[in-house]
């Protein structure tokens, strides 16, 4: 049994990218390993949300986590800011993280480009906070999507530096995980890149989107001007639709449309209709559970109180040992 940690930022509803990149793994791993799954509300602060939106976002992620299949009896489910040990370990880890490597981090460079008006130090040290989240439970496996790969590499650097400096093997190396296979990147509907909350209208399909909304978004998805000649290679936006189809549809369906594409007789309208209906079918039970769970405040409070308790216990143990290794006197 290994120790597993992962989190999702509380910046709004969960989308198919979160599901297939991360949550699908959470659901499977929770019964096989010691799992800690959390709502990353500290990380969400980099964008300065209003307190009421902030609270609502945390609640949304909690409800959607549970609706998607996280079992609070099987895993430890908590809110990041409920563990005071995380900011403390984050502060300590900052001493082993170099500004140069943080500045070179791809996600930081991207944030600078997109939001030149808000380049705060929290963004720069974002990977340090993430490493603290992971090693506070001494995790070895971290189920995440492809976009988090570099952050995991940085976490390993901090861990190795710490271990080396104190001549210890205290922290194990954490590794990104996806069923033991390649990490996943779920594309958005706008023709390129990945599905993401901040990528603009119509890019992401949220787990709570109503069928009509899903149909509208999928029908508006970018394709190309036509399949061209038989056997012609797929354009990127069309390949993206096939990628999504392969996540929610049966193999027969995917094969059918692939053949239509190969013969250059595919009608993108038909492909999109099928994709929309299969996404609706896939997300319907989650939507149903969201309605059920979100009405139950007592249950939600119970889950989070118990998860916080269990997670703090594990975190306190680690921090006590780390303080001793570093040489604090008490």
Q: Active-site residue numbers?
A: 111, 194, 197
Q: How far apart are CA 14 and CA 60, in angstroms?
A: 8
254 binds ligand TYM (CB under 6 A): no
Q: Which of 24, 60, 111, 194 binds ligand TYM (CB under 6 A)?
A: 194
DSSP symbols for 47-72: G---HHHHHHHHHHHHHHHHHHT--T
Q: Which is nearer to ligand TYM, 91 or 265 (CB)?
A: 91
Cα–Cα distance list, 31 to 1, 23, 71, 98 (Å) = 10, 13, 9, 37
The answer to whether 112 and 289 have CB atoms below 8 angstroms apart is: no
Q: How far apart are CA 135 and CA 130, in angstroms?
A: 9
CB of 295 to ligand TYM, least distance (A): 25
Residue whose entry in the numeric block shows the structure tokens 């976009």: 147
- 34-40/76-79 β-pairing: parallel
Q: Which is nearer to ligand TYM, 192 or 250 (CB)?
A: 192
Q: Which part of the chain contacts ligand TYM (CB under 6 A), choosing from 14-22, 114-122, 251-259, 305-313? A: 14-22
Q: Which is nearer to ligand TYM, 17 or 308 (CB)?
A: 17
9 binds ligand TYM (CB under 6 A): yes
CB of 327 to ligand TYM, least distance (A): 27
Q: Which is nearer to ligand TYM, 112 or 256 (CB)?
A: 112
Total residues in contact with ligand TYM, by rule CB under 6 A = 26
- What is the footprint of ligand TYM within residues 36-55 (CB under 6 A)? 40, 43
Q: Which of 3, 62, 89, 145 binds ligand TYM (CB under 6 A)?
A: 145
- Could you give the 3-state DSSP secondary structure of residue 118? coil
Q: How far apart are CA 283 and CA 278, in angstroms?
A: 9
User: How many Cα atoms within 13 Å fall on the side-chain side of residue 26?
Assistant: 28
Q: Which is nearer to ligand TYM, 60 or 266 (CB)?
A: 60
Q: Residues interacting with ligand TYM, by CB under 6 A?
A: 5-9, 17-18, 21-22, 40, 43, 130, 133-134, 142, 144-148, 184-186, 194-196
């Amino acid at each position: 049994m290994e120790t597993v940690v992962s989190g999702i930022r509380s910046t709004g509803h969960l989308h198919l990218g979160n599901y297939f990149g991360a949550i699908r793994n959470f659901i499977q791993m929770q019964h096989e390993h010691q799992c800690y799954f959390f709502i990353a509300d500290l990380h969400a602060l980099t964008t300065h949300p209003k307190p009421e939106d902030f609270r609502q976002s945390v609640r949304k992620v909690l409800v959607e986590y549970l609706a998607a299949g996280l079992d609070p009896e099987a895993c430890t489910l908590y809110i990041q800011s409920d563990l005071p040990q995380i900011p403390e370990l984050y502060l300590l880890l900052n001493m082993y993280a170099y500004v140069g490597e943080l500045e070179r981090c791809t996600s930081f460079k991207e944030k600078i480009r997109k939001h030149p008006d808000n380049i705060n130090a929290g963004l720069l040290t974002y990977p340090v906070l993430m490493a603290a989240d992971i090693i506070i439970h001494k995790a070895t496996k971290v189920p995440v999507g492809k976009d988090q790969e570099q952050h995991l590499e940085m976490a390993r650097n901090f861990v190795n530096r710490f271990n080396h400096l104190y001549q210890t093997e205290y922290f194990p190396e954490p590794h990104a995980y996806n069923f033991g296979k390649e990490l996943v990147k779920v594309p958005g509907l706008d023709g390129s890149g990945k599905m993401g909350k901040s990528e603009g209208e119509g890019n992401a399909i949220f787990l709570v989107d109503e069928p009509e909304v899903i149909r509208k978004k999928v029908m508006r998805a970018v394709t190309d001007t036509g399949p061209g000649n038989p056997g012609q290679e797929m354009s990127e936006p069309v390949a993206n639709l096939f990628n999504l189809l392969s996540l929610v549809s049966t193999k027969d369906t995917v094969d059918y449309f692939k053949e239509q594409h190969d013969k250059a007789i595919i009608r993108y309208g038909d492909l999109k209709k099928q994709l929309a209906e299969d996404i609706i079918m896939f997300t319907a039970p989650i939507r149903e559970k969201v309605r059920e769970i979100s009405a139950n405040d007592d249950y939600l409070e119970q889950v989070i109180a118990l998860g916080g308790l269990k997670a703090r216990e594990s975190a306190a143990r680690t921090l006590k040992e780390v303080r001793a290794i570093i040489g604090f006197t008490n």
